Amino acid sequence: MKSLILSALLTLFAAPVLACETFTLGDLNIEHAWSRATIGADRPGVFYVEITNNGSTDDALIGIATPAAGMPMLHETVVTDGIASMPHAMSIPVPAGQTVELAPGGYHGMLMGLTTTLAEGDSFPVTLSFQNAGEVVVNVEVLSLRAEGPDCDDAN
């Protein structure tokens, strides 16, 4: 039990900074951009982010691009009748007044054809393309392979 509390405390204090950066594009707020460390570059990497639409018009994330991967794509993990699969997501809706999360077990950027190993502590840029708002480049922090998300003070 003691070690449980200790590890929980350590997780709280080991707050990385970069993944907590906020990017703005018009009415869109983009934060918590992170990825998981990979073992080599032969297996796909992953990209997660949180997008808040503060405007009154619906938008949608329609694509991602990054120098870190030759073939980045938007995917959605779906668990149907206890079976997990991850079909492509043509676009990810970002409705007016709502927050959409690309997070483990749901929407994610699938970084196929990695150009390099993603090591913990590294960062790389990802360009997000939105149907209405246009494009924005965000910095993505590579967290540990075991990470489930960044620990930001503002995370709620």
Partner 1 sequence: MRLTRLQKILWAAAGLATLAYGLLVLLPNRASEAVPQAAFRPTFTLPDAEGRVRTPAEFAGQHLLVFFGFTNCPDVCPTTLSEVAQVMDDLGDDAALVQPLFISIDPERDRRLGLAEFTAAFHPSIIGLAGDEAQTRAAADSFRIFYAREGDAAAPDGYTMSHSPALYLIGPEGDWLRQFTYGTPATDILADLQPRL
Q: Is 36 in the site for partner 1 (CB under 8 A)?
A: yes
**How many other CB atoms are there within 10 angstroms of residue 34's CB atom?**
27
What residues line the site for Cu ion (CB under 5 A)?
Answer: 75, 86, 110
User: Which of partner 1, Cu ion, none sits in contact with 14, Cβ below 5 to 8 A by type?
Assistant: none
Q: Is 30 in the site for partner 1 (CB under 8 A)?
A: no
Task: Name the residue nearer to partner 1 (CB basis): 56 or 80.
Answer: 80
Task: Name the residue nearer to partner 1 (CB basis): 96 or 112.
Answer: 112
- Binder among 67, 95, 97, 104 for partner 1 (CB under 8 A): 104
How many residues form the binding site for partner 1 (CB under 8 A)? Answer: 34
Buried-state track 123-144, b at ≥16 Cβ within 10 A, e below 16: bbebebebeebeebebebbbbe
**Smallest distance, Cu ion to C-beta of residue 5, A:** 35
Would you say 114 and 41 are in contact if contact means Cβ atoms under 8 Å apart? yes
- Binder among 13, 14, 88, 153 for partner 1 (CB under 8 A): 88
Would you say 150 and 32 are in contact if contact means Cβ atoms under 8 Å apart? yes
Burial class (CB in 10 A: 0-12, 13-18, 19+), 30: buried
Nearest residue to 100 via CA among 146, 138, 131, 58: 58
Q: Is 113 in the site for partner 1 (CB under 8 A)?
A: yes
Residues that bind partner 1 (CB under 8 A): 3-4, 7, 36, 38-40, 42-46, 71, 73, 75, 77, 79, 82-86, 88, 104-105, 108, 110-113, 145-148
